[in-house]
């Protein structure tokens, strides 16, 4: 506020915006470790947009891991089959 005698200002106030879903999550890397197992690894999202509280790993749509690690060894596979993995953060 200003008058002919000068201006004054208020103290500052801060605000934090809410977290948003992470973006730029690369697909997981898969390393075959045997006829019935693969090792799946992934990196945290490039833009976490908040604090990452955990990951969900799905194999062919089924949740097989929930936790904070960025790797998982899947030992429950059938030889000579194709599997698809997706990470959700």
- Strands 29-34 and 37-41 come out as antiparallel
Whether pTM exceeds 0.75: yes
Residue 31: give the domain boundaries: 21-88
What tokens were used for 45? 């999202």
CATH number, domain containing residue 83: 2.60.40.10
In a domain, 79, yes or no: yes
Contact 67, 52 (CB under 8 A): no
* pLDDT band per the 50, 70, 90 thresholds, residue 79: very high
The residues with which 65 forms a beta bridge, in sequence order, are 57
Average pLDDT, the chain: 95
Q: Indicate the number of domains in the chain.
A: 1
Res 9 pLDDT > 80? yes
pLDDT digits (tens, 9 = 90+) for 34-75: 999 999 999 999 999 999 999 999 999 999 999 999 999 999
Q: Evaluate whether residue 67 is within a structural domain.
A: yes
Kindly state the average pLDDT of the residues 1-24: 91
88 in Cβ contact with 67 (< 8 Å): no
Domain membership of residue 16 (yes or no) is no
Half-sphere exposure for 72 (CA within 13 Å, toward CB): 20
Question: Is pLDDT of 89 > 80?
Answer: yes
- For residue 4, being part of any structural domain is answered with no
Q: Tokens for 59?
A: 């194999």
């Amino acid at each position: 506020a200003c008058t002919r005698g000068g201006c004054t200002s208020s103290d500052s106030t801060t605000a934090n915006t809410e977290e948003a879903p992470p973006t730029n999550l690369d697909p997981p890397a898969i390393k075959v470790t045997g006829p019935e197992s693969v090792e799946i690894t992934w990196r945290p999202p490039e833009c976490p947009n908040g604090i990452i509280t955990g990951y969900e790993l799905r194999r062919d749509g089924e949740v097989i891991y929930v936790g904070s690690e960025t790797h998982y060894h899947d030992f429950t596979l059938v030889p000579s089959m194709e599997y698809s993995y997706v990470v959700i953060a």
